[in-house]
Structure 1
Amino acid sequence: MSPPRGYDPKRPPGKPAGGKRAPKYSGPASTLTYKLQTAIVAELRQGSTKRMAAALAGTTEARLQNWLRRGREAIEAGKRSRYTEFVVEVERAQAEFQKGLVKDVNEAIRDKTMDGRGARWFLGVLAPKDFTVPREAAAPAGNGHGPLFEVITPDEARAKLDDKLATFIAQHLKAQAPKDAPTESAPEDAGGD
């Protein structure tokens, strides 16, 4: 009797024949290796973005985001895998970089010769929920007297201007009328001797 197809008696036991993965696993092997994981985490610790860290480690941002998504899903399901450890390491690396920036800002506050504006700006960009002051709602324009500006046609503008000019002239003439009137206490010339 001959051995089964793909059987190699010289091959050590424990590995599937033909170099394939064991049938209990579905799909191809993960491309997230320990070497890739440590390279990505090291770049993130130095302040690289996820896109930069992925490119420097030799992978794509889409693949990195997929690994992080799988890790978060596993964490929510209460499972532990290579991806959950990766999520924890990535978040720890980002937190360590932010901690270094916070340390720089605190030193700049204590030492007045340092300028910490760059570090404060970078923290505000990296984590706006943690490091920016929430903006207040803008006050309504016009101080409660309606809108500050109205969109009107040129004809409407001309009519409003004419009305305001007529009102101004009428008020001005009223104000001038008492000044021009002769006073009653002054003696009148009666034409005689």
Structure 2
Amino acid sequence: MSLPRGYDPKNPPGKPAGEARPGRKGKWAGPASTLTYAIQTELVASLRKGATKRIAAGLAGTTEGRLQNWLRRGREAIEAGKRSRYTEFVQEVEKAEASYQMTLVEASTDAITDKDINDKVIRWRLAVAAPKDFTVPREAAAPAGNGHGPLFEFITPDEARSKLDEKLTRFLEEHDQEAKALAEPPLEADEGDEDEGDGR
């Protein structure tokens, strides 16, 4: 198997985490797991430019899972009434996302007057970023039942029982009428008509 283009085996990416104990190889540094000021500023700057949390985390050298964990810790601290690096981080992230969304709102407002601007991308990005704020909730349409109304209708057990009783009563009435019609003997034809058919 060939190596990827641009990969130099003599100078691999990454760096050792630090001094290893004598006789052991150093570990390679993975994604950042500690929220530092440098990571925080890089994350916030990326989010302010419109990056998603996943992209911003990748650019800052960490993972989206760790970013979400830092945000969770900050929200928990805010709810507990504590102040920490994580509470500041949550506020900065929310401010950066709101700032980017505001630039999109301003761009969509400009698109109303300037018909040269295609605002579909702007509306899509706003709908993806904050669906509760920028989308109209859709009602779940019941599938049509071939012109007979919706296929399924939500009703209470009492309504179901009364409808079933009505249908059963109607069915029994129709069944009784059909049984009476079959039980009645057919009207017999006059005997004089039969004699005319013989020709005698």
Query: Shorter-normalised TM-score: what interval?
Result: 0.5 to 0.7
Query: What is the aligned-residue identity percentage?
Result: 72
TM-score (ref. length: structure 2): 0.56
Q: Secondary structure at the match of 2:62?
A: coil
Query: Which of 129, 134, 142 is equivalent to 1:131?
Result: 134
Tell me the residue number matched to 2:103.
100
Q: Do the aligned partners of 2:144 and 2:150 also contact (CA within 8 Å) in 1?
A: yes
Gap regions ≥5 residues in structure 1: 1-29, 149-193
Q: Deviations over 1:138-190 (max 9, x none)?
A: 15513772667xxxxxxxxxxxxxxxxxxxxxxxxxxxxxxxxxxxxxxxxxx
Letter in 1 for 2:95: R
Tell me the residue number matched to 2:81.
78
Structure 1's 147 and 103: CA in aligned 2 closer, same or farther, altered over 3 A? closer
Q: Secondary structure at the match of 1:62?
A: helix
Aligned residues: 119
Alignment of 1:162-173 (within 5 A): none
In 1, the alpha carbon distance for the partners of 2:135 and 2:96 equals 21
Structure 1's 90 and 140: CA in aligned 2 closer, same or farther, altered over 3 A? same
Q: Deviations over 1:79-99 (max 9, x none)?
A: 010000000000000000100
Q: Secondary structure at the match of 2:97?
A: helix
Letter in 2 for 1:34: Y
TM-score (ref. length: structure 1): 0.57
Q: Which runs of 4+ in 1 moved over 6 A?
A: none
In 2, the alpha carbon distance for the partners of 1:34 and 1:65 equals 17
Structure 1's 59 and 146: CA in aligned 2 closer, same or farther, altered over 3 A? closer
In 1, the alpha carbon distance for the partners of 2:65 and 2:38 equals 18
RMSD over aligned Cα atoms: 1.9
In 1, the alpha carbon distance for the partners of 2:99 and 2:150 equals 49
Is residue 2:74 matched to residue 1:68?
A: no
Gap regions ≥5 residues in structure 2: 1-32, 152-200
Measured after TM superposition, the shift of residue 126 of structure 1 is 1.0
Tell me the residue number matched to 1:34.
37
